[in-house]
Amino acid sequence: MARESRPPGGLPHVVIVGGGFGGLSAARALSRAPVRVTLIDRTNHHLFQPLLYQVATTVLSPAQIAAPMRHLLRKQANVTVLMTEVLGVDTKNRVVSFGDPAPATGALAYDFLIVATGASGSYFGHDEWARVAQYPKTVADVLKMRDKILKLFEAAELEGDPSRHRDLLTFVLVGAGPTGVEMAGALATMTRATLRSEFRRIDPAASRIILVDAGPRILAAYSDALAGKTRRYLERMGVDVRTGARVEHVDDDGVVVDNERIRSRCVFWTAGVHASPAGTWLGVPTDHAGRVSVLPDLTVSGHPEIFVVGDTASIQHDGRPLPGVAQVAIQSGPHAGRTIARTVAGEAARAPFHYFDKGNLATVSNTFAILEKGRWHLSGVPAKFIWAFIHVLYLSGFENRLLVLLEWIWAMLTRRRGARLIEDPSYSQLAAAMAPRAGPTSPASRTAVTPDNHPIPSRTS
């Protein structure tokens, strides 16, 4: 395994694992520090994850919410970007091992390490559900989700038995936090407005959108009043909101919720998250979600050279851990970078991390969003404008900001969405969706397929 050697008398080496909000902002905070920075990520782009659901629901295209990291850091001469997979950390010898795929094919020696690897969907001990119920984490994830949604409408249009349209056009979202609520609203807008006049044999507005959460209400992090107002708005949009409903099983046939089988060919997971394996790499304590317990300055106990930021860290604020939201990563990443810069400059004292709560935002439709900041509670159009401004502000690159803003304005005025492209047009997934379920079926429910694999719905008359 090749290992980088530390040059005698060379600049201190800072290795950053993860190119999300935390890692990218940490690298930028080190732009003027006398250090070498290596940023490692499994992809070559920085992704604006809060808008991933808009790619899945055809509002935006992937290029509008992502930007190449090398481009974003092109003017920062002290940064090297490596696209590879981190496999572990040797804290004793201060070495990060990497390889793509495993086993390790290389290693980097570090003087300082910043771990900003984020989180992924938590299936609460049922990781086998991930195969069926995708969690929107990467561009690849949401493109598959978008394809699945659009192909189900195509399958319904091809299906000769109207009684099977209900199963094909039932969408289940598990988890009613901000991601689940926003995706449910986007799906409702898509089915009741965008696609309304584009099909001839089906009515997209008849689609069922079911939002399920085990908690007593949606948006647990928001006030009762805003959560209640959002629920009523979703229900007016046609979303079936079910709270206090526990998901017991997920399979290709749908979900089982409180002993009730909901048949669906499209289940998305928008529930809890679990941190990356950083705690295992570092051999340090973690909380129930796998987040690394950090000291007030964001370092790991016994390792003042290792910082953990963003969703990967369990950061205490006013006696409670901070939530895994983008603002925590955006603020904790620069704190780690500035602390390293001061340490390299010879400053012994380290300041604790202070989090500034900028409030909670969530959007449901083109004209409805909610904002909660202390005693400020806003909903409707004013909150929507604030939501749009904040999200455009934090997008990477001027071009992306301009394109997304124009796309939103166009969607608001016309209710049309331009990203309704099926990336993988293969027939297999469409055929799988149309395949009869177990049990008796009528001849009318079957679909004839011509020799050249173009399906033709059977006549029912």
Residue 36: helix, strand or coil by DSSP?
strand
Residue 456 CA, chain-centre distance (Å), reads 37
Residue 83's Cβ-count burial label (10 Å; 0-12, 13-18, 19+) is middle
- Provide the 10 A C-beta neighbour count for residue 109: 15
Cβ-contact 91, 306 below 8 angstroms? yes
Strand pairing report for 208-213 and 170-174 = parallel
CA distance 289 to 82: 28
Identify the active-site residue in 128, 157, 159, 182.
182
User: Has 182 been annotated as catalytic?
Assistant: yes
Q: How long a stretch of residues is the chain?
A: 461
Are 94 and 305 in contact by the 8 Å Cβ rule? The answer is: yes
Q: Which residues pair with 394 in a beta bridge?
A: none
H or E element: which one contains 249? strand 247-251
Q: From residue 183, how far is each of 91, 118, 141, 172, 422 by CA, in Å?
A: 40, 21, 14, 11, 19
Q: In 3D, which of 143, 156, 139 has the Cα closest to residue 195?
A: 156
Contact 209, 184 (CB under 8 A): yes
Contact 359, 19 (CB under 8 A): no
Alpha-carbon 444 to chain mean position: 40
Task: Take residue 397 and report the two structure tokens written for it.
Answer: 């690159």
Q: Which of 222, 199, 227, 193 shows the shortest CA–CA distance to 211?
A: 227
Q: Work out whether strand 273-275 and strand 292-293 pair parallel, antiparallel, or are unpaired.
A: unpaired
Structure tokens at 121: 């969907």
What is the phi-psi region of residue 290: left when phi exceeds 0, alpha when psi lies from -120 to 50, beta otherwise?
A: left
DSSP calls for 286-313:
B-TTSPEE--TTSEETTEEEEEE-GGGE
Reported as half-sphere exposure (CB side, CA atoms, 13 A), residue 311 has a value of 21
Residue 14 and residue 110 in contact, taking contact as beta carbons nearer than 8 Å: yes
Which residues are known catalytic residues?
Answer: 182
